[in-house]
Structure 1
Amino acid sequence: MDIIFTILASIAAACSDRKNLPKALISGGIFKAAAALCLVFFHGPGGVFLHHGKGAYYLYYGILVTIAVFGLMEASVGCWVSGRLEDRHAAGKAVLCVSILPLVCVAAFGGFVVLRKMN
């Protein structure tokens, strides 16, 4: 649970200081990818995804795989932004703002449950 607060603190710090942007992108992206993959492998779908046919079942896994790919892409953008921070700051900040939605989705699908089981 502490890692989530650390990532949220780094996102908040990146909004006020440009030097923290690559760190926030890389750590947030790796966390989202890891949490989504943990959900894919260790936590099955529940609730509305179970009782509405196979389409919803596959939608659950499709969303999680998409979030994992987005997380890896976000980490790659963090490495790209760190090369020339002054020129690429706007693109990195845009990706950071968009990355909040996948973080909320991972948490809603049960990301906290998987992290609690690992401890």
Structure 2
Amino acid sequence: MRSVAARRYNRSVLWLSGAYVVLLLGISILFKRNLLGGPIAYPAALLPALPIIGIFAAIGRFIAEETDEYQRMLLIRQTLVATGFALTVATVWGFLESFDLIGHADGYYVAVLWFGGLGLGSCVNRWWERRA
């Protein structure tokens, strides 16, 4: 059975993910049709980032509210793996890019890497548990 914190986290992430899709699609359409410009374009372009930031906050809240110490430790390990993975790839990419060895990557891909790193962290947790 999932804890109250886990259920709240799942609900938040589902809602925020839906908001992200709606905002990203809507804003993308408005920009492609040249319906956004001038000063309003800046806050509009930032709108899809808000649900992603919300997911980061939901993860932090989940860690803070989880009462099962073992489950909290697993989540913390998972987020540490994700952070290390995303920062490592971003650092390597940045050096390769600075020496003109590869093309530019948009900064928001670091969040994509981090979310992928959560999956990697989950695999690390499973591997660690099997070792024990």
TM-score (norm. length: structure 1): 0.39
TM-score (norm. length: structure 2): 0.36
Greater fraction helix: 1
